[in-house]
Chains A and B, each alone.
Chain A
Amino acid sequence: MLPERVINLAVLGLLLAVPLAAFALDEPFIITLATKATVLALAGVGLNLALGQGGLVSFGHAAYFGVGGYAMGILASHAQSYAPLMEVPFLIEGTKSMPVIWLVAIIASALVALLVGALSLRTSGVYFIMVTLAFGQMLYYFAISWPAYGGEDGLSIYVRNGFPGLNTLDPIQFFGLCFAVLLIVLLLVRTLNRSPFGLALHGAHQNEERARTVGINVYRLRLTAFVISGAITGLAGALFADLNRFVSPTMFSWHTSGEIMVFIILGGVARLCGPVAGAAVYILLEHMLGGLSDYWHIYLGVILLFVVLFAKGGLIGGLSRREVRHAG
């Protein structure tokens, strides 16, 4: 059996090699698919911090994905129409600069996660799952019934936002940017997992009572993890919106929450690169099964069912036998 570090490097290497090969062969569509996998992987890495490491089964992470997406959509559409967001008490204008948009997306989704987490974490177990799900839906319906930013139809922007020194409209350059963001976040999450904070979070997941007894404020610990988790997923949402140059309430829908969760399960719960492997396989399946049949969701459902029932540990769990405690 392979050590997990080797598998992680292989997963990331493959995710990098495929678009580079596609670039050499002049296949921009494959580069775009790889970019999609990279961005969705980032969303999964965000959720995995709460779900895998913290054992917090959030079924509403689409909320942060959507908030990140709308941060991009709102800022860029205002920049596009030269209409400021706000004039009193001070002027806020739209922007087409990715770093600024990312910052806003991270802050906005962290704030929403703080609010939702503060309430949801008062509950636990199945209540927590349902409450996070319900908050996600609340934002979904809000986005649908809010006509100022497109309502049900969503928002389009015509030109992808800019990043200093790069031509983001070039598929391979945009991929490189997303991949770099993913790598940085993975390093950050790895550091976090090994820090006293990460160890405490994992400890509280394994035995809440014991964590409390040694003096850990479990609520605050989990809330912090939840907020960081939401912020990462929000950043992914901003990138996803930029990839499609479009945001719509679908980003908020509970299907999106389910999909992000599926990446983690396919790849392996609480594994650093689990969501990366999962998102890549998901995109691959979507592409292949989509070509096979119009009703490809049936096959996807069957595969997912099989993985949950018979192949616990997902891809990375299957390749490396080292046990990781399952969320629950």
Chain B
Amino acid sequence: MSTILLIEQILNGLQFGVMLFLMAAGLTLIFGVMGLINLAHGSLFMIGAFVAAAGAAATGSFVLGLIAALMAAALFGALIELTVIRRLYARDHLDQVLATFALILIFSEATRWVFGSFPLYLDTPEFLSGTVTLPGGILYSKYRLAIILIGLAVAAGLFLLISKTRVGMRIRAGENDREMIGALGVDISILYTMVFALGAALAGLSGALVGAIQSVEVGMGEPVLILAFVVIVIGGIGSIKGALAGAVLVGLTDTLGRSLLPLLFALFMDPSAATSVGSALASMLIYILMAGVLLFKPTGLFGSA
């Protein structure tokens, strides 16, 4: 494999990782602050993609579609927090898993009901289509590069929000001692709704951005959700830094594994067997990575016990 192709794969892995970070950040934030495991996070990703596709088709503007997606995901997030999720904070994880599993069933079927079973398509906007020439003469998709930049910008914004602002201070305080910050006069329930809506908006943003790369269909949030779980297990639950590290690690491992493993096996196997063994192993690679990390650090890279 040539160097140029390798760099391109690394960039693809980075783009995938950044997208996973947007998903994982919301999950890990919600878990860290509220102790809640939310399987319906993938549904918010799906809502983002569907609203972006429908919004862009209706208005003819990708950016308007993106804004609509962000708002819709945040709105649905706030809505389910107010109606369902807040009844689950005091419950054990099993109840949270089941109730949010039920939400997935409801959201997936409702989406199928509204939009039908056929996938929608979202075109990349005019100003981001085509390729850009990177230093070293590498041609790379403008849109994917934009995703990487947006993702990194959101990551930086999230760090600033949590470490520098008043809201961030409350979020961190809520992570440590919810009774105490309640006693200090912070309205916990509004704070929780806001954090949940923020996480939902990040998932929606991620779904909307990815919607232009893959087809927009019911159930698209679930594989991403599982990967986001792998990311936060590797990174350590509740840690934004861990989510970023885990996401980039998973994104690179998966993308590079899929392109390099078949080539690696072709060195000592016949081509068709190498392709099938290589791709089967590549599809398991990130889980092997996760198992490896857990062997040495059962609470993830940046997690605390």
Contacts and interface: CB of A to CB of B under 8 A. Distances in A.
Given A254-B226, A295-B109, A305-B103, 8 more contacts: A122-B298, A127-B237, A127-B299, A127-B300, A131-B290, A135-B291, A265-B94, A298-B109
A298 B110 CA distance: 7
A193 to B, nearest CB: 19
B183 interface: no
Interface in B210-241: 222, 226, 229-230, 232-233, 237
Contact of A262 (B92, B98, B233): B98
Interface in A273-310: 295-298, 300-302, 304-305, 308-309
Contact of A305 (B92, B99, B276, B287): B99
A261 B229 contact: no
Interface stretch (B121-129, B160-168, B278-286): B278-286
A269 B92 CA distance: 13
A123 interface: yes
Q: State the main secondary structure of chain B at its contact with A.
A: helix
Interface residues of B, number: 45
A133 interface: yes
Interface of B: 31, 37, 84, 87-88, 92-95, 97-99, 101-106, 108-110, 112-113, 222, 226, 229-230, 232-233, 237, 276, 279-280, 282-284, 287-288, 290-291, 294-295, 298-300
A84 interface: no
Interface stretch (A2-10, A140-148, A207-215, A238-246): A140-148
Interface in A84-138: 119, 122-123, 125-127, 129-131, 133-135, 137-138
A98 to B, nearest CB: 29
Contacts, number: 129
A300 B109 CA distance: 10
B106 A302 contact: yes
9 contacts: A57-B93, A57-B97, A127-B233, A129-B37, A130-B37, A262-B98, A297-B106, A298-B109, A304-B101
A134 B290 CA distance: 9
A138 to B, nearest CB: 4
A146 B276 contact: yes
Given A119-B294, A134-B229, A305-B84, A297 B283 contact: no
B298 A305 contact: no
Contact of B108 (A129, A297, A308, A328): A297
Contacts of B279: 145
Interface in A227-285: 254, 258, 261-262, 265, 269
Contacts of B92: 326-328
A309 B222 contact: no
Contacts of A312: 95
Nearest to A137: B226
A70 interface: no
B280 A295 contact: no
A41 interface: no
Given A119-B295, A145-B283, A309-B84, A129 B98 contact: no
B105 to A, nearest CB: 3
Q: What interface size band does chain A fall in?
A: 35 or more
Interface of A: 51, 57, 59, 119, 122-123, 125-127, 129-131, 133-135, 137-138, 141-142, 144-148, 254, 258, 261-262, 265, 269, 295-298, 300-302, 304-305, 308-309, 312, 326-328
B95 A129 contact: no
A126 to B, nearest CB: 5
A312 B90 CA distance: 14
Contact of A137 (B99, B105, B237, B287): B287
Contacts of A326: 92, 94
A47 to B, nearest CB: 12
Contacts of A328: 92-94
B166 to A, nearest CB: 29
A328 B37 CA distance: 13
A127 B239 CA distance: 14
A327 B230 CA distance: 24
Contacts of B288: 138
Sorted nearest first, the 3 A-B pairs with minimum C-beta distance are: A328-B92, A301-B105, A138-B287
B302 to A, nearest CB: 13
Contact of A304 (B105, B276, B287, B294): B105
A258 B94 CA distance: 11
